[in-house]
Amino acid sequence: MGFAELTEFDFHPRLAASSGIAVALFSGPDCGSCKRLEKNLPEWLGGNVNYFYKVDVQRSTALASAYDVFHLPSLFVFVNGHYHGPLQAEAAPQPMRTALENLLAEPAHEEP
């Protein structure tokens, strides 16, 4: 399972059509940490996540601004097409899984 690319034009419609859990990775083409996370997240979270999406912040600047993306990589979780919250954890398997479980146990955050 790899990452499907989203743009400003299809971000909301494609997420709205995504049932289950989706993770959106905001990244940049020159971001080494983003590339490592993109490579590893499907393995680390694949059993718990139905969709992986990525947004190139250089091409989708309005989305990056709307989601207050100030550092890369930035991750956001959506459940049944609705924003749930930011996913923040050390870039390693167990911290990512734990952070996702903890986030999903919380009420949904308000979309930025």
pLDDT number for residue 112: 87
- Please give the share of the chain, as a percent, with pLDDT higher than 90: 95
For residue 2, name the pLDDT band (cuts at 50, 70, 90).
confident
Element counts in the chain: helices (H) and strands (E) = 4, 5
Rounded Cα gap, residues 95 and 84, in angstroms: 18
CATH class of the domain at 4-105: alpha beta
Residue 89 region by backbone torsions, left for phi larger than 0, else alpha for psi between -120 and 50, else beta: beta
| 11 membership: H or E segment, kind and range | helix 11-16
Quick: pLDDT tens for 64-110.
999 999 999 999 999 999 999 999 999 999 999 999 999 999 999 99
pTM over 0.85: yes
In the chain, where the domains are located: 4-105
SS3 state of residue 12:
helix
